[in-house]
Amino acid sequence: MKKYKLAIVGATGLVGRTVLKVLEERNLPVSEYVLLASKKSAGKTTHFMGKDYVVQELNEHSFDEGFDFAIFSAGGDTSKKYSPIAASKGCIVVDNSSAFRMDPNVPLVVPEVNPEEIKNHHGIIANPNCSTIQAVVALKPLDNKYKIKRIVYSTYQAVSGAGRNGVLDLENGAKNYLENTDTPMQKFPYPIFSNCLPHIDTFLDNGYTKEEEKMINETRKILKRPELKITATTVRVPVFNSHSESINVEFENDFDMKELIDTLKTFPNLIVQDNTKEQLYPLATNASGKDEVFVGRIRRDESVPFGVNLWVVADNIRKGAATNAVQIVEELCDYKLL
Ligand code: A2P
SS3 state at 285 = helix
Q: Is the CB of 161 under 6 A from ligand 1?
A: no
Phi, psi of 218 (to 5 degrees): -70, -40
Q: How confident is the model at residue 69 (pLDDT cuts 50, 70, 90)?
A: very high
Is residue 225 within 8 Å of 149, Cβ to Cβ? no
Rounded to two decimals, what is the model's pTM? 0.97
**243: annotated active-site residue:** yes
Give the integer Cα–Cα distance in Å for 124 and 120: 10
Q: What one-character-per-residue DSSP string does 202-213 give?
A: PBPTTS-BHHHH
Nearest to 73 by CA among 113, 116, 24, 22: 22
Q: Whose CA is nearest to atom 19 of ligand 1?
A: 74
The predicted pLDDT at position 337 comes to 52
Pocket test for ligand 1, best of 38, 48, 169 (most atoms within 8 A of CB): 38
Q: Is the CB of 35 under 6 A from ligand 1?
A: no
Is residue 96 within 8 Å of 132, Cβ to Cβ? no
**Beta strand 4-9 pairing with 30-37:** parallel
Q: Is 80 exceeded by the pLDDT of residue 336?
A: no
Q: Is the CB of 62 under 6 A from ligand 1?
A: no
What average pLDDT is seen over the chain? 97
Residues of the chain with CATH 3.30.360.10: 132-316
Sheet-wide strand order for 229-236: 229-236, 148-157, 243-251, 307-314, 293-300, 270-272
Is residue 148 within 8 Å of 130, Cβ to Cβ? no
Q: Which CATH number does 4-127+321-337 carry?
A: 3.40.50.720
Give the integer Cα–Cα distance in Å for 20 and 43: 17
**The total number of residues written for the chain in this structure:** 338
Compute CA distances 186 → 49, 203, 321, whole Å.
33, 19, 23
> How many helices and strands (H and E) does the chain possess?
8, 14
Angle of helix 323-337 relative to helix 14-25, nearest 10 degrees, comes to 50
CA of 162 to the centre of ligand 1 (A): 13
Q: Is the CB of 37 under 6 A from ligand 1?
A: yes
Percent of the chain beyond pLDDT 70? 99
Of 91, 121, 122, 130, the active-site residue reads 130
The predicted pLDDT at position 65 comes to 87
pLDDT single digits (tens) 177-219 = 999 999 999 999 999 999 999 999 999 999 999 999 999 999 9
Angle, CA of 320, 323 and 327, to the nearest 5°: 120
Percent of the chain beyond pLDDT 90? 97
The predicted pLDDT at position 334 comes to 84
Q: Is the CB of 16 under 6 A from ligand 1?
A: yes
Q: What residues are paired with 296 via a beta bridge?
A: 311
Q: Is the CB of 300 under 6 A from ligand 1?
A: no
Pocket test for ligand 1, best of 12, 20, 58 (most atoms within 8 A of CB): 12
CA of 67 to the centre of ligand 1 (A): 20
Q: Is the CB of 76 under 6 A from ligand 1?
A: no
pLDDT single digits (tens) 16-36 = 999 999 999 998 999 999 999
Q: Which CATH number does 132-316 carry?
A: 3.30.360.10
Phi, psi of 73 (to 5 degrees): -140, 60
**61: annotated active-site residue:** no
Residues of the chain with CATH 3.40.50.720: 4-127+321-337
End-to-end CA distance of the chain: 12
The predicted pLDDT at position 136 comes to 99
Q: Is 70 exceeded by the pLDDT of residue 338?
A: no
What letter represents residue 129's amino acid? N
Of 91, 121, 243, 333, the active-site residue reads 243
CA of 43 to the centre of ligand 1 (A): 14
pLDDT single digits (tens) 223-245 = 999 999 999 999 999 999 999 99
Q: Is the CB of 164 under 6 A from ligand 1?
A: yes
- For residue 101, the 8-state DSSP code is T
Query: How many CB atoms lie under 10 A from the CB of residue 265?
Result: 13
Phi, psi of 200 (to 5 degrees): -125, 125
